[in-house]
Structure 1
Amino acid sequence: MDVKDSNGNILNDGDSVHVVKDLKIKGMSKTLKRGNIIKNIRLTSSPQEVECRVGKSHVVLKTQFLKKA
């Protein structure tokens, strides 16, 4: 199963990614701004989602809003 970012690059566990669009996260007052770097992502069972850590929270993001750093 290949997990691809918005540009078609293959993502692996431990990669760093950029956010390509401002994202409002449910349950958090914080908004992820475009250009933020998220380090050390983890792949999930779904090819359209990755799990990562933002601050002290663990969140699941869709790969269509990410690009490989």
Structure 2
Amino acid sequence: MTDDSEDYVYDEVSGEWLPASALKPIEAAADAPFEVRDSVGNLLADGDQVTLTKDLDVKGAGQTLRRGTLIKSIRLTGDPQEIDCRYDGIKGLVLRAEFVRKR
């Protein structure tokens, strides 16, 4: 008699029970480093300076950031499309990478 039983693990992302052997490649892909690129394809890193490529209305601040505004010392978030930054008078500013260009 052969033992064909395999451990199953619940995958919260897909909402399905998957064999443990099938879950390993999914976890490895999730742990892989990601790249954040600006509007022209330059690779961004923590501490970079960026400029805005278009006018942006800031929700909750009642302010508009103009094209060409310099943002100093960005921080990367866990999302490859978003960067966290500081600007005078605006706390917790998160910008989309598609609207900035590395300086």
Matched, 1:29 2:29: no
Which entry has the higher C-alpha Rg, 1 or 2?
2
- What secondary structure, in the 3-state scheme, does the structure 2 residue paired with 1:51 have? strand
Q: How does 1:1-69 map to 2 (within 5 A)?
A: 1-56=34-89, 57-69=91-103
Task: Find runs of 4+ consecutive structure 1 residues off by over 3 angstroms.
Answer: none
CA RMSD of aligned residues (A): 0.7
The structure with the greater share of residues assigned to strand is: 1
- Structure 1 length-normalised TM: 0.96
Deviations 1:37-59 (A, max 9, x none): 00000000000000001114121
1:34 Cα deviation after fit: 0.3
Letter in 2 for 1:67: R
- Structure 2 length-normalised TM: 0.65
The structure with the greater share of residues assigned to helix is: 2
Structure scoring higher RCO (CA < 8 A, sep ≥ 6) equals 1
Q: Please, which runs of 5 or more residues in structure 1 have no aligned partner?
A: none
1:10 Cα deviation after fit: 0.1
- Identity, in percent, stands at 49
